[in-house]
Amino acid sequence: MLQVEHLSVQFPGGAAPAVEHVSFSLNRGEILGLVGESGSGKSVTAQCLAGLLLPDAEVTGTICLEGQELIGASPAQLRAIRGKEVAMVFQEPMTSLNPVLRVERQVEEALRIHTHLNGRQRRDKALAAMAEAELPDPAALGCRYPHQLSGGQLQRAMIAAALVSEPKYLLCDEITTALDVTVQAQILDLLGKLSRERNMGVLFISHDLRLVKKLCHRALVMRGGRIVETGAVEELFHAPREAYTRRLLDAIPTRDSKLR
């Protein structure tokens, strides 16, 4: 279980804390949605979970990963966890891959860091992960450079790169935002399948409530660095207790909503 309690993050020079007293837990096999407008502290929370914040940010509270405390852990301890226990996929697939390295080489990166497998074994695992991420013809795509792939293909490659080391938790930070709607739907299906099959806990960060409703079991609503509401997705969407959640829901355009 990934347990977060009273997590607060203060950036130097920041007026208010970016994240304040955030508590939640994420079980393996569960998909947890994290919604909120931009600047609400969603990404900062995710980066804390991956131990990715700048060293000058002041982080307090506890983040407990399968019994291991992440806050105050040494950089070497955090590196051993990142990419191995907790993997992350980011918003911009076009820039999240290194432009001068072949795709397959980047998918196997976590294996280079965390295992002693030889090149052949790494390659086999990378190609298997790419197939699992539903990339067509992994062997051919793997030999290409990032600029030769489409956004959807790149995001699948990023997911494959996250999967390759069989992480227990996957943090997805707005991973569908840069993609078109059909690819979005495919990526959501893929995440659902991977979470079930691998018993992987997924934190799905999005500002798009429709996606969260479709994919997640539970959801957190964040605003101004705090969690304002939390609950099972059905409850949250059908009977929101908080005015803010209701406003967010009202902002979703529906088939019936009129153009004003």
Partner 1 sequence: MKTLLSKFAALIITLFLVSALAFFAFALIPADPATTMLGSEATPEAVAALRAELGLDRPLPVRYFEWLTGFLRGDLGESYLYRMEVGQMLSGKIAVSALLTMLSFLLTVALSIPLGVLAGSVRNRYLDAAAVGLNQLVMSVPPFFLGILACYGLGILLKWFTPGAYVSPEKDFWGCVRYLIFPALSIAIPRSAMAVKLLRSAIRDQLGQDYVRTARSRGASETSILLRQVLRNALLPVITFLAVSLAEIMTMSILIEQVFSIPGVGQLLLSSVSNRDYPVVLAIVMLLAAWIVTIHFLADLLTRLADPRVRLG
Question: What are the φ and ψ backbone dihedral angles of 85, each rounded to 5 degrees?
Answer: -90, -40
Question: Nearest distance from residue 43's CB to partner 1, in Å?
Answer: 11
Which secondary-structure segment (H or E) carries 64?
strand 58-65
For partner 1, the closer of residues 161 and 222 by Cβ is 161
d(CA 16, CA 77): 29
Residue with Cβ nearer partner 1 (71 or 80): 80
CB of 158 vs partner 1, minimal distance in Å: 7
The DSSP output letter for 82 is: B
Q: How far is the CB of 103 from partner 1 (least distance, A)?
A: 11
Residue with tokens 């096999």: 29
Indicate the angle between helix axes 151-163 and 119-132, nearest 10 degrees: 120
Query: Can you spell out the DSSP letters for 4-39?
Result: EEEEEEE-TT-SS-SEEEEEEEE-TT-EEEEE--TT
The smaller minimum CB distance to partner 1, of residues 92 and 242, is found at 92
CB of 19 to partner 1, least distance (A): 18
Cβ atoms 99, 147 nearer than 8 A: yes
First to last CA, the chain: 46
Name the residue nearer to partner 1 (CB basis): 178 or 211.
178
Phi, psi of 79 (to 5 degrees): -65, -35
CB of 246 to partner 1, least distance (A): 35
Minimum separation from the CB atom of position 97 to partner 1 (A)? 6
Closest to 4 measured CA to CA, from 56, 46, 58? 46
Contact residues for partner 1, defined by CB under 8 A: 50, 52, 79-84, 87-88, 90, 92, 95-101, 109-110, 113-114, 145, 147, 158, 161
**Choice between 99 and 253, CB closer to partner 1:** 99
Count Cβ atoms below 10 Å from residue 239 Cβ, excluding itself: 10
Nearer to partner 1, 50 or 220 (CB): 50
